[in-house]
Structure 1
Amino acid sequence: MQMEAFHWKKNQALAEDYIQDSGTANHLFHFHYKRTEDWLTRAAWVTEQSSALRADRHQLAAVLTSYNERIGNTQQALQKIQDLSKSESLVVVGGQQAGLFGGPLLVLYKAITIIQLAREWSGKLSRPIVPVFWIAGEDHDFDEVNHIYSLTSAQTVEKIKVEHPTGQRTSISRLPLKEHVWIAALQALEDSLIDTEFKAELLAKLKNAALPSSTLSDAFARWMAWLFGEYGLVLLDADDPPLRGVESAMFEQLIARNEALSDALMQGRKRVRECGYEPQADITENGANLFVFEKGGRLLLQREDGLFTDKKKSVSYSREQLLDISVTHPQRLSNNVMTRPLMQEYLFPVLATVLGPGEIAYWGLTASAFEMFGMKLPIVAPRLEFTLIEGTVHKHMVRYDLSFDDVLNRFEEKKQSWLSKQDTMRLGERFEVVKEEFKASYGPLVDSLAAINAGVKLLGESNLAKILNQIEYLEQKAADGHKAQFESTLRHLDRIQLTIRPLAKPQERVYNGCAYMNRYGNGWLKQLVETPIPVDGQHRIYYL
């Protein structure tokens, strides 16, 4: 396995400073992932802390067992759930929205990071560490998860998507898709994939994941179980109704102490600004930081005149009514981005949470809220990052003297430089000389025509412009003809750019993993899971 590390600076300053252990970002977190002593301290703290604000392990294990059996997860994963019942066990957890056919590559990398860290620290601490993937099924942004992208043989980025089944703004886990929608999406994927020795099995596995599933969340869970279940990855859907029953007591706390929660989050926002960063979440003094499912939708609540209401005031609850819902119908409640970390800490004995750069920025706002509930932020570990580069693409990069950094930061400059070196006829320079010489000899003649009359001079100026236009037209045709000699090279260069920076974004944020599994099977994915890779904040270039 050929791999090299690369520092790809994050656009989010808070995340960049935290990941690199620099600046003032560390003041916003209780521990740091690069310090071994912090891992040991966190493990001891979780073990010794009071269980007053902690879900019952056995009840949680029963719920997770039922869910993982339903989605067809492996015996290895079910055994990990049993480990969760043991008092000495800890958890490494991370999550993502439930994307079509697994979503972008970064989802796979987050799962790999969770598994890697759980395995590493289980050995170092000599205690069970359970890898848990938190499927954000309660999220309602359907347009974010209903599609995948792939690079076609025609050098275009193709989008495959499914349409919203109802138009209602409700959680992904509550939006069933009809069988014909799944079949159409599978057919579109099949049509986009080249024929390989792996294609039939891949499509069969995707079909087995999709067709028994009513929602994107279920299909996603079945697919992730097939990919990672053998490594003991435990899956949960945040909108699973039985899980809501386990969360009931924490919802009670979030409602009963809602003003104090808002104050703590406002304090977190202040701390972020004092450290020199801009908050990445919209925090307001009257925000309840909870959703309620009502009238077919997922509505964000705020406090107003002693009541909990949504922005449009289409629903309204007293605190007592909301507390009653938390006990009798907790499945009607849902966390937002600020309370999800607190709920995760309530549910699990979290050693570490695996986050992307944007999530790290969100979590930097929550330390005061954790402290308010007698909790501490867990170890925040950045997920592993990769760019997959196929052999032919790598060969082209070597041939045209393009480094990874070149493609990211100076691709057009390098491309034009290469083309210029091929211009042995010096077309641009020679045409420029001709145009200047023509203007120098013809211009004075045109100017002299004013002695005849103004109309003749205007005609001469028009004639001069037309001749120059014709020269430029010939120059462009000559340039096009010259470039046509290098069409193959230009295709190679475009393929390099589309591989590494599709849609001007990192590859892992755009392309789906199925195209790579179709070309190369699952061997590359297994290597990434099974080969120890340090979680050090570096981006890795993986040559397939």
Structure 2
Amino acid sequence: MPSDCISYQESGYFSKLMIDYLNEVDTLKPLYHRFPRIENFKDQILEKQADFRLQNRMTLVEALTDQYVNFSVSTATKNNLALLQKTTTFTVTTGHQLNLFTGPLYFLYKIISVINLSKELKKEYPEYDFVPVYWMATEDHDFEEIHYFNYEDLKFQWNKHACGPVGRLDTQGLDKVFEAFSSQTGIGKNADQLREWFEKSYIKHPDLASATRYLANELFKEYGLVILDGDDKNLKHLFAPYAKKELEQQCSIKNVSKSFDILSNYNIQVNPREINLFYIENGIRERIVYENERYQVNNTDYSFSQEEIENLIDSHPEKISPNVILRPLYQEIILPNLCYVGGGGELAYWLELKEVFADFKVPFPILLLRNSVLLATEKQANKADRLGLKWSDLFMKKQALLDSQTQKRSENTFDFQQQTAILEKQFSDLKQLAKKTDASFIGAVEAQEKKQLKGLKNLEKRLLTAEKKIHRDALERITDLQAELFPSGNLQERIVNFSQFYKEVGNQLIPKLIDELHPLEQKFNIVIL
């Protein structure tokens, strides 16, 4: 099958904001610092090196050392943890929710993007070191978004009443998910490996954070991935001064709003609040609001004066959690980070934040759209080849694909542009004649023109429908193939879990993705397994 290149811009699955960002449209340039090109990283390195405090680096290393206690750490990850002590070491970071069993495929693509970018940066700037980081979103509380995964045509769901930060949730009840999943994975060493990963992750670990760390480490340990949990008291100490400023000055809402004029032609991804911080405990993650000259915690009896909340931040900074507006700032405070790798939705809210970073005097990272991938089997690729399809055809919306393939297969012509042009010319002449004779006829001429053009369009549709019946078998095979590759008309990477492909190809899956994905290319990758 032809391996034609599909850009993100041409795929039809990215927002106008992301397309304009990738095209470096001038109006968006005030919203980011440096565009993700390899040559732009040198200035980013120098800026971050001058800004990042040695104390923050040491605190980071100590926190990571504590977080990895009782985990088997690969040599590659140990080396990267040691490298983080050096002032010439920087990180490339992605973040993701704690989706059950990794959730959709793009979990893999995010992490592979940071692994591969770290390699490319090392090759370009050998005097520095670069560490890929996966930031676990342990403080999120959107349990409904993470409590399931899809395998083949089945949905495996964790039924649990949950509240508070998801990383602290106990794994009780996941034994039932394990039993259901085990019964569907079949036999063979790949199926055995999937069952082992699930059991050791979710049955042998007490909470969702440690379970996710174990699984991500197992999948990517040989590539030196460093996994970071921001729900950490020592790391929160570094964030404390910034949290106090947010409480006292409510500065984020003012600074985010500065981006809205530029983003007025796009969908605003997130709207800031007056205070962009949560209060968290086990089972609680609630917004902090300022009312009646006190800081109240929504849906609780907690209430603090200015002095009391500052004392809380000093003594228990782990009780303060940044929301979506301030989490990126927290990340960049505690990491010697150069680049954040995320999906289109994530980068959309990062593009609101440059002025927030400027106000807090923290360098704004380079923003890189993660790799996107369509995985296909050899059988599917051969089927597409037999049907005379290009990959770009399969990215079309279903109706457009059927129309184009019908026209391609038909011996008749269904493009009525010539007839339409002739008809429009005739009525144009009639309208000119009406003006010269009796202008009152113009309305009648225009009505007749509209009627005949509509009739011509309907005739074109009827002929196309008739032709589709002739080619019904081929069109059904085409739509069946598209449905396999784009489940429910959506991108595969947003629906399907990695286990579906691991079952077939096993340990080849991640190395093949590592080899074929290139993070700085604006290209939707087609990977044949």
Percent identity (aligned): 24
Q: CA deviation at 1:314?
A: 4.3
Q: 1:55 & 1:17 partners in 2: Cα distance?
A: 39
Q: 1:194 & 1:296 partners in 2: Cα distance?
A: 37
Q: Is the 8 A contact 2:52 2:336 kept in 1?
A: no
Secondary structure, counterpart of 1:282 in structure 2: coil
Query: What is the aligned counterpart of 1:263 among 235, 251, 254?
Result: 251
Q: CA deviation at 1:327?
A: 1.8
Q: Deviations over 1:78-122 (max 9, x none)?
A: 221111111111111111001111111101000001111111112
Kindly provide the amino acid, as one letter, of the partner of residue 45 in structure 2.
A
What TM-score comes out, normalization by structure 1 length? 0.79
Q: Is the 8 A contact 2:28 2:262 kept in 1?
A: no
Map 1:78-227 → 2, pairs under 5 A? 78-126=78-126, 127-151=128-152, 157-164=153-160, 167-178=161-172, 181-227=173-219
Secondary structure, counterpart of 2:389 in structure 1: coil
In the alignment, structure 1 residue 400 sits paired with structure 2 residue 387: yes
Q: Deviations over 1:133-152 (max 9, x none)?
A: 0000111111111111133x
Query: What is the aligned counterpart of 2:504 among 487, 512, 519?
Result: 519
What TM-score comes out, normalization by structure 2 length? 0.81
Equivalence for 2:230: 238
Q: CA deviation at 1:244?
A: 2.5
Q: CA deviation at 1:188?
A: 2.1
Secondary structure, counterpart of 1:539 in structure 2: strand
Q: CA deviation at 1:55?
A: 5.2
Map 1:134-533 → 2, pairs under 5 A? 134-151=135-152, 157-164=153-160, 167-178=161-172, 181-239=173-231, 243-260=232-249, 262-276=250-264, 277-284=266-273, 287-293=274-280, 296-312=283-299, 314-415=301-402, 486=473, 490=476, 492-531=477-516, 533=518
Equivalence for 1:22: 25
Distance 1:518-1:306 versus aligned 2 partners, 3 A rule: same
Q: 2:226 & 2:3 partners in 1: Cα distance?
A: 28
Distance 1:402-1:304 versus aligned 2 partners, 3 A rule: farther
RMSD: 2.9
Secondary structure, counterpart of 1:352 in structure 2: strand
Secondary structure, counterpart of 2:261 in structure 1: helix
Kindly provide the amino acid, as one letter, of the partner of residue 260 in structure 2.
V
Equivalence for 1:44: 46
Q: 2:282 & 2:188 partners in 1: Cα distance?
A: 48
Q: 1:381 & 1:414 partners in 2: Cα distance?
A: 31
Distance 1:501-1:259 versus aligned 2 partners, 3 A rule: farther
Kindly provide the amino acid, as one letter, of the partner of residue 526 in structure 1.
P
Q: Is the 8 A contact 2:57 2:336 kept in 1?
A: no
Structure 2: which 5+ runs fail to align?
Answer: 412-465
Query: What is the aligned counterpart of 1:537 among 499, 502, 522?
Result: 522
Distance 1:65-1:498 versus aligned 2 partners, 3 A rule: farther
Q: Is the 8 A contact 2:138 2:209 kept in 1?
A: yes
Distance 1:417-1:76 versus aligned 2 partners, 3 A rule: closer
Equivalence for 2:449: none
Q: Deviations over 1:419-448 (max 9, x none)?
A: 899999xxxxxxxxxxxxxxxxxxxxxxxx
Kindly provide the amino acid, as one letter, of the partner of residue 256 in structure 1.
K
Equivalence for 2:454: none
Q: Deviations over 1:263-303 (max 9, x none)?
A: 3443333323235434211223xx21111025832101222
The structure with more radius of gyration: 1
Q: CA deviation at 1:409?
A: 2.2
Secondary structure, counterpart of 2:228 in structure 1: strand
Q: 1:211 & 1:292 partners in 2: Cα distance?
A: 29
Q: 1:422 & 1:88 partners in 2: Cα distance?
A: 60
Q: 1:395 & 1:412 partners in 2: Cα distance?
A: 23
Q: CA deviation at 1:347?
A: 0.3
Structure 1: which 5+ runs fail to align?
Answer: 152-156, 425-478
Q: 1:366 & 1:421 partners in 2: Cα distance?
A: 48
Kindly provide the amino acid, as one letter, of the partner of residue 114 in structure 1.
V
Q: 1:145 & 1:532 partners in 2: Cα distance?
A: 26
Secondary structure, counterpart of 2:275 in structure 1: strand
Q: Which moved more, 1:495-504 or 1:217-226?
A: 495-504
Secondary structure, counterpart of 2:260 in structure 1: helix
Q: 1:423 & 1:374 partners in 2: Cα distance?
A: 63
Distance 1:146-1:381 versus aligned 2 partners, 3 A rule: same
Q: Deviations over 1:388-432 (max 9, x none)?
A: 0111222222222333333332424544787899999xxxxxxxx
